[in-house]
Structure formats: structure tokens, C-alpha cells
Amino acid sequence: MHEEIDGQRLRVSAASFFQASPAGAAALVRAVRRAAGDPATWTSDPVIDLYGGVGLFAATVVPPDHPVIVVESNESAVADAKVNLRDRPARIIRSEVARWRAVPASVVIADPSRTGLGAAAVSAVAATRAPVVVLVSCDPASLGRDVGLLARAGYRFEYTEVLDLFPHTHHVEAVSRFVRDDRLSS
């Protein structure tokens, strides 16, 4: 099937994860775009989209001419991302984030599962030395843990924007912005 988000037509196969609704996906795109900052301020290094799924953020947040690397472990989502990003300077890597070999990045966007980043993935994020990290989280407990791990890795928490994508439930999505601050590294 296909979803249209922010003017981009995205292929989403049955075995690929996608947000529960197109309106929710569009709200997340807007929040991630705000947190990533003005692309004119980004370095020429690629944007790294960790747990990138079908390429939602790579296709909508990253300008079409800016290089992007999508890291995703799900085979179906990787196949969809290859289709969705075929006209962009994109590299799609099928790998667990914790096993991925980090490269310098202008921005890191990470949208992990409910378990969050954890120590190994935070190490991969820190190895990119990206000036900005955007973390999408659907679990307050894992977000709290990851804020501490990112701080110890040299990232200062700036803010969290909470999105109610699942009305009448206790579930929320949180989009958090972190900036590199080498004074914080332990």
C-alpha cells in the first residue's frame, strides 16, 4: 500500500512498520523537522536516519539533494526505503543500529522501538559527532534513560515536544532535541 505524507508518496509493505495514521505520521514529520533545525545550518555530512523504517523522515525532513543514510534492520522496511528514496542521494543499510559502523553526520534522527536507544545505540549516535540529535520516543521510561545516556555521551537536552497521536489512550509520542556539548562527555 502507499501513504502520502507531506507531499511524498511512500510504499509501505505489510511487514513494514508505519505510524498508525497518516495524520499522526504527518504530525511527527513536522515535529522532527522543527527539532532538526534549518537545513541551511547543517554540514555537508549526511543526515543519519536510525531505525529509519520505510524512509519516512529521510523522504520528508531531509531536503532532496542532501545525502542521507538510513539504518534499519527489518528486511521489508529496507526494501520499501530503497523504493521510497530511489531518487535521492540515499544509502540504505540493513543492520541493527548497535552494530552499524558510525560515520560523521550533520544530524541524527532516531526513532527506536518502545525499548528506546539503550547504551549500545547511544554509543553509535555519539560516534557520529552530529551537532544535533532528534530522538522520537513512544515510552517515557526509555526516553528518561536515553536522556541520561545521551548526556553522558556529550549531548545536552534542549526540549521535548509531546504529541498525542493516540487520543483517549495513555500513549504519546515525544520528539526531543539534543545538541552536542563536549563539556558533558564522561
CA distance 182 to 45: 19
Q: Is there a catalytic annotation at residue 163?
A: no
Q: Which residue in the list 138, 147, 149, 175 is annotated as catalytic?
A: 138
The Cβ-side half-sphere exposure at 69, using a 13 Å CA radius, reads: 21
List the alpha helices (DSSP H) in 37-168: 56-60, 75-84, 118-128, 140-152
- Residue 139: phi, psi to the nearest 5? -140, 115
What's the Rg (C-alpha) of the chain?
A: 15
d(CA 107, CA 62): 10
- In the block, cell 529521510 appears at 58
H-run or E-run covering 157: strand 155-163
Residues acting as catalytic residues: 138
